[in-house]
Structure 1
Amino acid sequence: MQVMTQSPVETSVWHRLLSRQLTRRSALGTVAGAAAAVSLPVAFSDAQATANNGAPVTPDTQKLQPRAFPPFTPIEPTAADALTLPRGYRYQVLAPWGETFTPDGRTLGFNHDFVGYFPIDMLQGGKSSTEALLTINHEYANPMFVGGDTKERTAKQIQAEMQDVGVSVVRVRKEGREWKVVMDPRNRRIDAFTPIELTGPVRGSAVVKGATMVKGSVGNCSGGQTPWGTLLTCEENVDGYQKAWAGSGYEAMHQGWVTEIDPFDPAWTPKKRTGMGRFRHENAAVTLARDGRVVAYMGDDMQDSCIYKFISRDRYNPADRNASRDLLADGDLYVANFGNGSWVLLDYARNKKLQEAKAGDKPLFTSQAEVLADARAAALAVGGTPVDRPEDIEIHPRTGDLYAALTNNSRHGNFFGQIIRWTEKDRDPAATTFLWEVFAYGGPQSGFASPDNLVFDPYGNLWMVTDNSDLGTNPIKAYHGNNAMFFFPTEGPNTGKAYRFAVGPVDAELTGPVFSPDGKTLFVAVQHPGEDSESLDKLTSTFAAKEGTRIPRPTLVAIEGFPGWRQA
């Protein structure tokens, strides 16, 4: 079916209020001025310094004019077991599950999610679009595919699953028209067995029984990238493993954090940043406040859960990478109140509501470590607004506006989801107040449902992938076809209109989209194709199956055919 136009939002109250605060020229000046105030070098900016996954944010970004229409002919929905693209675009399977990619024989993990693009020359001030270290999150393992079609998990199967989650660091290079995985000593796996250091207020506390080092990173959903060239991998659905991996030594309280990994330095121990709170972390969108502090926006991917931001205590110094790698150890965590457009501090010593919060006659919290370990309860105790499954949050490269995908909420009849956007006061990410609106609604009128991961291109156009788990069984989503990827103009007469770019295979999600710095390659993960298969004999998908087999494989794909970025 044809995707229908939504009503323009330029005349909304939200836009009229913004126009009173600042003109378009001053808005763009504020973004550029913020970067200048902290002396952010062009080299780091060109290499995605704000880690707005995919869009190289540079002074030249302001010269790029937004598109009113997509750079492709939109496609129709389909239920085919294929990755369907517009005419003129092609893809290659680049890094599928189970392929050997390290010198010591490790294989790529299962269920690819977030993909981080780190130009191979980034630390030297470069922005290579033909060679990079990619980081690939592996959210969870499907027992049927990983361990075989068994009824009960064996010890061997549990070990295989624990080795197939976490993160892969993979060097890739474009050779002619094709991308290839390159053997490199930095290629490695971070899995459920990897030693990881706790940092921040929870480190050594009673909450984690005095632990300072823990084992593994699991539930790795979306993530983010830092200005200093590290990955933030976000641990989401972690509690269920306590039962699934019984006897393995798995500790749920050691998971559910944001873990920082340096793809360039295998010797650097990964760090769990407990100051950023424990909840079902979907992602971490990183930028810089006007005063140079680091700000990370995060969503708690659960019905009736909240949106957060973390502000570092110290300021970013682009000349000192070693110091930068400690910036996320200390800072303040806030939760969004959309009822009055404010950020509420989650600090036990400075917020009396946290001190007074009780469950019956017992206090909910007695320390900051307890607040952070149950950030969801703390957020609701101080008036954080429960929203409809906040998944990805990303930052507009031209305006600094924040966009969040609210996937859906069946508890309240919101089956299609929506995308919201907000603007911090004075365009400063460290502000404590903001204005917000709904950018796009899911449903038959727009053509999409259940928005999930987001990515911007430097023009300021939004690209979104969907997360529908009930396609094929829910008649109200018959219009949708398989999970898909959409393009949205964010300015002009077609603001908020959805154009379908890609459709994934049966049962799959398209996840973790990220562009190369020149905009000519889009990397996307194809997650859990064939997820609803009854057995290995009754497969719903065979996407990316290894030659001679029929078992579908989660994989990274590289999509080509984009015109690249053009200066205005």
Structure 2
Amino acid sequence: MADQTRRSLPIIDHARGKRSPVTCRLKCADACLGPECNTSGNPEFRSLASAALSRRALLGLGAAGAFTLVAAGAMKPAPAQAAAFGVAGDLAATRTAAASRLPFEPITPVSHLVDEFTVPAGYRWEALVRWGDPIFPDAPAFDLHNQSAAAQARQFGYNNDYLDVIADRGGLTGVLVTNHEYVNPGIMFPPSSDPAELRRRSEIYKVAQGMTVVEVARDRIGGPWRIVTGGARNRRITVESEFAFTGPASGSALLQTAGDPSGTVVHGTLGNCAGGTTPWGTVLSGEENFNGYFRAAPDTVARKRYGFADTATSTGWETWDPRFDGSAPGYENEGNRFGYIVEIDPQDPESTPVKHTAMGRFKHEGANVRIAEDGRAVAYMGDDERGDYLYKFVSKHKFNPKDNPGARKQNRRLLSEGDLFVARFSGNSPAAEIDGTGKLPSDGAFDGSGEWIALTRKGASAVAGMSIEEVLVNTRLAADLVGATKMDRCEDVEPHPTSGRVYVACTNNTQRGTAGRPPVDEPNPRATNRDGHVIELTELRGQSGERFAWSILLLCGDPASITQTYFAGYPKEQVSPISCPDNVAFDTEGNLWISTDGQPSAIRKNDGLFKVPLEGPERGHVQQFLSVPRDAETCGPVIRAEEGVVFVAVQHPGEEGSFAAPTSLFPDYGSQAPGAVAAPRPSVVQVWRG
């Protein structure tokens, strides 16, 4: 499938902002059209500037930390940060890198009207697993016209987002783990107004979401994988699967319902977006836009802050399942039981997955873990809503690096206890130089310092007037009270595997700087920020410390049409245009990879996957590697440069079409191969050299 013919299908108008109106409705319940969830009176960036640390003060405060970092051989800051804070760094030095194992010529951006999966010359692609593919021996073959809940529970789910391929020793077998974020009834089924049929379909929606674990195998390192139907580790996790709560809020009255008076057990996981694989081999998944699954009046401060609404949902569950009706007696707290980081063990299909209350409740894009210099686990997380915050969690206990059952059991408890922090950013440029256009200030960089503000410490609340349970269940309210910085939708947040620097994808915020919305500031310097940006953050006192330096690595957009873009100083006329950064990943050569979600609405190009070197003269050179089909989003990139293999999740292809008139035929494109269907099917795609 390397050289698909371009397929131009009927034009359908795109919506304002980042996404199509269909995606907005189904994925985030029209969050961008509703009132601002964060109407807190927490201090705005400029009012905090007078209290912010000066460069000289930061140098004095951070000198011991800087020495520790260098002496320990830990992460070193990017050039702008090294210059600003006097911390030793070597990234500015030009060095000769070894030849890449994943060489490619950047592709030409593909029009948003073209239904094609495009890869560079010399590469091939194929769908590794598609919506509806059987993953158990007793699962029927996918039949678009005869779907059932029983069949879908044994088949690959819908709208896959986060993914990882975890190889076993030897490298020829392993498991693929992925999230299934939401469903699109309009392209899964033909129109219907029959109540019985709509109820039947809504039961299918419950098992089409959640997560999938499926075994994979291949014949050689670097070759294509195949799924193993009936693998011993194969598993579907759905909206009805049982989860256990962990952490200080487990058992809280805020989590108790008529179905679970103990407040310790919950059925299902919802809106699962990005995630991460932990150093101890488990997989984390973020529950993101969970509020849209509930019909609940925003009759409390907390419900309003989390975006609940008294409107019909796209799944219709509230019409027959009291869990999703916020007015049902005994189920008022059900919405409090979603919005957490979920942890599963992909090696044990009988294990009970957990939701970690210690990591807070908000619209988690995902969580990614790095082991700090002191041995503790540090998880970075973004709250994906305009005007919300960047968080990190530091475990109480230390990681056990041994590979034995006792160590694995110990490590699986690391995220159950610890301290939760939220970020406050400060800039170092005069306020007048941050004018909303994206023009660089006189010092040549959007950069500054920051602090991690504690929300919990040593198992207790660090927020005056809130109990530990209240902080962890209503985390947004707690962060409001301590004056965290309102960000332009922090999505994926990942620490670099070797340098330790943290990369924050701020996907966009088209309402930044408009009337009644947060004003521009140095970490969010563009008004009506349609294209988003990427922040590079350096911890100054180790990964578990509470001070950081930051700078904007990329101010995204198409340089041909947008004057104020920035690519870490790289000549902008030589980069691939990129907009709406979503997920980030790294290859073994140290490069950053970015997948996008929203380019069709922003720059009229299909979303894609982009490589960005972080060191030497190529730093900031954005290069597009692949492009996904029409209406689709690029998710969950996995880069195996040492093997010449890349994986991406292709979510919501053909989102703007209908069952009768699809706008995409990905991935089958009329093929007569077994299981092929003339309809768009979310899929995991593998790309390899050959």
* TM-score strictly above 0.5: yes
1:48-100 Cα distance to aligned partner (Å, 9 max, x none):
xxxxxxxxxxxxxxx99477998210111112211101101111111100010
Which among 205, 225, 239 is matched to residue 161 of structure 1? Answer: 205
Single out whichever of 192-201 and 509-518 deviates more from structure 2.
509-518
| Mapping for residues 247-258 of structure 1, pairs under 5 Å | 247-248=320-321, 249-250=323-324, 251-258=334-341
Pick aligned residue for 1:354 from 463, 471, 476: 463
Contact 1:113 1:136 in 2 (8 A): yes
Deviation for aligned residue 1:510? 1.2
State the Cα RMSD in Å. 2.8
**Structure 1 residue 508 and structure 2 residue 632: aligned?**
yes
**Deviations for 1:340-375, whole angstroms, at most 9, x for unmatched residues?**
51000012899987324xxxxxxxx3x211111121
Q: Which one of the candidate residues 188, 205, 223 is aligned to 2:235? A: 188
Which residue of the partner structure matches residue 359 of structure 1? none
Would you say the 8 A contact 1:129–1:518 is kept in 2?
no
The aligned amino acid for 2:679 is I
**Aligned position for 2:622:** 498
The residue type equivalent to 2:623 in the other structure is Y
Per-residue deviation, 1:267: 1.9
Is residue 590 of structure 2 the alignment partner of residue 542 of structure 1?
A: no
Is 1:241–2:293 an aligned residue pair? yes
In structure 2, the gaps of 5 or more residues are 1-54, 77-94, 140-153, 257-261, 296-312, 325-333, 427-448, 513-527, 560-574
Quick check: 1:68–1:492 contact (8 Å CA) kept in 2? no
Amino acid corresponding to residue 30 of structure 1 in structure 2 = A
Aligned partner of 2:304 in structure 1 is none
Q: Distance in 1 between matches of 2:464 and 2:470?
A: 11
Distance between the aligned counterparts of 1:373 and 1:269, measured in 2? 21
Q: Say whether residues 1:466 and 2:592 are aligned partners.
A: no
Taking the aligned partners of 2:96 and 2:156, their CA distance within structure 1 comes to: 37
Deviates more, 1:176-185 or 1:86-95: 176-185
Aligned to 2:422: 335
Among 217, 220, 224, the residue aligned to 1:178: 224
* SS of alignment partner, residue 409 of structure 2: helix
**Aligned sequence identity (%):** 39
1:94 aligns with 2:181: no
> Which residue matches 1:220?
272
Displacement of 1:268 in angstroms is: 1.4
Residues 1:524 and 2:648 aligned together:
yes
TM-score by length of 2: 0.68
Larger Rg: 2
- Aligned residue type for 2:552: V
1:117/1:516 contact within 8 Å kept: no
Task: Indicate if the aligned counterparts of 1:69 and 1:489 stay in contact, CA closer than 8 A.
Answer: no
Q: Matched residues in 2 for 1:165 and 1:88: separation?
A: 35
Partner of 1:441: 555
Matched, 1:556 2:556: no
Are the structure 2 counterparts of residues 394 and 349 from structure 1 closer, same or farther at C-alpha, using a change threshold of 3 Å? closer
CA–CA distance in structure 1, aligned partners of residues 481 and 130 of structure 2: 43
The 1:381/1:541 distance shift into structure 2, 3 A limit, reads: same
Deviation by residue 1:94-132 (Cα, 9 ceiling, x = unmatched) = 1100010124521000001001222223xxxxxx44321
8 Å contact kept, 2:101–2:642: no
Preserved contact between residue 460 and residue 468 of structure 2 (Cα < 8 Å): no
How far apart, in 2, do the equivalents of 1:185 and 1:107 lie?
15
Which of 141, 151, 163 does residue 183 from structure 2 map onto? 141
Between stretches 80-89 and 240-249, larger displacement belongs to 240-249
Structure 2 CA distance, aligned partners of 1:232 and 1:75? 32
The residue identity in structure 1 corresponding to 2:538 is T
Residue in structure 2 matching 1:409, options 501, 505, 509? 509
1:325 maps to 412
Q: Is the 8 A contact 1:335 1:384 kept in 2?
A: yes
Mapped contact 1:398–1:459 kept (Cα < 8 A): no
SS in 1 for 2:616: coil
Alpha-carbon distance between aligned partners in 2 of 1:344 and 1:467, rounded to the nearest angstrom: 30
- Alpha-carbon distance change, 168 to 70 in structure 1, aligned in 2, over 3 angstroms: closer
Q: Give the drift of 1:318.
A: 2.2
**1:315 alignment partner in structure 2:** 398
Residue 25 of structure 1, CA deviation:
10
CA 336–275 in structure 1, closer or farther in 2 if over 3 Å, else same: same
Aligned with 2:606: secondary structure?
Answer: coil
The answer to whether the 8 A contact 1:408-1:450 is kept is: yes
CA distance in 2, matches of 1:349, 1:431: 15
Residue 543 of structure 2: aligned partner: 429
Tell me if the contact between 1:28 and 1:398 (Cα under 8 Å) persists in the aligned partners: no
Relative to structure 1, the CA distance from residue 332 to residue 536 in structure 2 (aligned partners, 3 Å threshold; closer, same or farther) is: same
How many residue pairs match? The answer is 496
The structure that is strand-richer by fraction is: 1
Distance 1:107 1:432, change over 3 A: same
Q: Please identify runs of 4+ aligned residues in structure 1 that moved more than 6 A.
A: 16-21, 66-70, 348-353
